[in-house]
Amino acid sequence: MYYAIMGEDRDDSLEARLQARPEHLERIRRLQEEGRLLLAGPHPAIDSGDPGPAGYTGSLILAEFESLAAAKAWADEDPYTLTGVFSSITVKPFKKVLP
């Protein structure tokens, strides 16, 4: 089943986000290589694809896991979680309907 992993950034997280980004992306690429990633990306803090110093307010990952517990465990080990970029994380089952 798919799960939505929604991380909310703490205030002033841009520098920490940039430092943890390579490891964060590597974990997501592994999901993609395994055929489990539906989509992933950040939420810009402003209405722009490149928010510059405004940074981001969080991220969304939609991926397949064997259970809710497995998805939560994966999210708990994410570099953005471990380095404090995310102030909170929500993990929910997701049912893909379209497209």
DSSP code at position 96: -
Convert the pLDDT of each residue in 53-95 to its tens digit: 999 999 999 999 999 999 999 999 999 999 999 999 999 999 9
Cα(30)–Cα(38) distance, rounded to whole angstroms? 12
pLDDT in tens, 26-60: 999 999 999 999 999 999 999 999 999 999 999 99
pTM for this entry:
0.95
**Euclidean distance between CA atoms 59 and 80, whole angstroms:** 10
Provide the b/e sequence for 53-75 (b: ≥16 CB within 10 Å): eebbbbbebbbbbeeeeebbebb
